[in-house]
Every structure is written in structure tokens, then in C-alpha cells.
Amino acid sequence: MRGDVLWQARDVILSREEDISGFEGQSIASVECAATGISYSLLTNYGWTMKLAYLHWESGEREVRALDCNSTEHRMHDMCNRLRMSVSDVEHLPGIAWMELSQARLVSRVDPVRTTKKKATSIELLEGAGGIVPGREFERLGAGFGTRQELMGESGRHRTYLCTTFPANDTVVPAVAFVLTRVLPVWNRYSK
């Protein structure tokens, strides 16, 4: 339902907004196609709001991204439609999806607008989220939090990367993961 509060932590409130249809653009794999999805409103006590979207592309890909931000801070606008998070299915666990929890960080103090994504530890995620404990938030939402090896049994070179696992039809965890790993670290000017 529109306006329903889905998640709240400290100074941010995530609410469900409207369904999205006919969204056109490039998927994560740069395929020109259309998407449907859900939009969210992120309200903050910092004096700005952001519109997020969980998109399901015709190509089969899924992602979360920021669509718009009404902040006067340029670094927040830079992340809109640029810093995106893929949502993938766990191949050997039917009905379970996962997201890698890489973290948005400012490129440098010299260029405080541009951001990039980096592998993050639990401590770095905590610091970037301004003290909100990601593991506890995912647990509250019924999602897993750990390394790709712990949660999905991976043994490759990315096995130590943090991720979250959740039911594939869950529409809250993907948006919360985006807020914790993309929005808040950029707002908090986190750079390790």
C-alpha cells in the first residue's frame, strides 16, 4: 500500500510508494529494455528525501537504484541512477535471492562528489551506515547476513564478500540493503 512504512532505523524511514510500469532504460548488463517494479520513498531527519526503485527488467535482471534526491548535496545526486545493486537468485536454493553488500564510498576528499563501490567488512558497513548494525537489521527482516561462503557455500575468489540472502519475492530487504550500503555511506561521507 502506498505510504506504508516498511522499515525504520535511527534517522531514516523507508515507505512503499507506487508500482512502476513502462520504465525504460538499460539493465545492469546494458540491455536496452523496459522494467516494472516498486518505488519507495526514503525520508530522513537530515532534511532531504530520496526516491528508490526495485526494478524487474524484461531481460530477467533485477536491481535497486536511486531515482531522485531532493538534497542540496551534490554527492547525493551523483549516485542517482548510477550506483545500482543487482538482485540475483541463489542457483541451488530455489526461491532464495541474494545481494552482494559492496559499499559506496567517496572517491576522495579532493572530489567529494564522485562515488565508487568497494568490498566492505562488517565494521565498514556499520561505520558507513552511521552506526546502524546491518546484521541486526537484516535479521529483523528475516534475511541472512554473512559471507558468500557462509550463506551460499561459494568457494571462489569472492567467497569472503558480504551478502544478504532473502526470499525471492521479498521487496523490503533489497531496498534496505541499498539504503545501508549505498545511500547512508554517501550521506555520511564515508571513505576508508
| 2-6, 23-27, 79-83: which is most confident | 23-27
User: Which residue has better confidence, 168 or 47?
Assistant: 168
Provide the CB-side half-sphere exposure for 119 (13 A, CA).
8
The domain ranges of the chain are 5-187
Q: How far is CA 83 from CA 15, 63, 130, 151, 186, in A?
A: 20, 10, 19, 24, 11
Q: Is the confidence at residue 164, as pLDDT, over 70?
A: yes
Q: Is the confidence at residue 128, as pLDDT, over 90?
A: yes
Q: What is the pLDDT of residue 36?
A: 98
Residue pair 98/74 in contact (Cβ under 8 Å)? The answer is no
For residue 113, the SS3 value is coil
Residue pair 164/173 in contact (Cβ under 8 Å)? The answer is yes
Q: How far is CA 67 from CA 40, 41, 64, 108, 153, in A?
A: 10, 10, 9, 24, 34
Q: What is the pLDDT of residue 112?
A: 62
Q: What is the pLDDT of residue 56?
A: 97
Q: How confident is the model at residue 1 (pLDDT cuts 50, 70, 90)?
A: low
> In what order do the strands lie in the sheet containing 144-147?
5-9, 12-26, 32-44, 49-57, 62-69, 84-89, 96-100, 162-167, 144-147
- Alpha-carbon distance of 95 to 71, in angstroms, equals 37
Q: Is the confidence at residue 34, as pLDDT, over 90?
A: yes
- Alpha-carbon distance of 123 to 156, in angstroms, equals 23
**Quick one: which H or E segment has residue 125?**
helix 122-128
Q: What is the pTM of this model?
A: 0.95
